[in-house]
Amino acid sequence: MMEKIQNTEFIIILIKSNKLKEVIKKSTELEYRLIDTAFIYENESEIGEILEEIMNSGIVKRKDLLIVSKKEVKNKFNVLDQQEDDVPKLHVDGSP
């Protein structure tokens, strides 16, 4: 569990794909810890690959990141099934 949250917000929606890796890597080096994405941004898989690379390099640990992804809920009874689609895209296990 994170003991302290600082420099927490970082918005990814407006970053062009060719700069995304550079921006996410630099932001995690600067101790940004909230990654906010959504299905509608169409970058969950790319962000997941970048985060996996960053975590494997030791820049940041999974337990220190807060990763938020949002879905358009078409069927309120099917929300958990939709969540299961996001976890593999983001290359995380679903828990901090």
Residues 6+ apart with CB under 8 A from 27: 10
Instruction: Calculate the alpha carbon distances from 85 to 64, 88, 96 in Å.
Output: 22, 6, 17
Active site residue 41: yes
Catalytic residue, chosen from 23, 34, 39, 41, is 41
Catalytic sites, residue numbers = 41
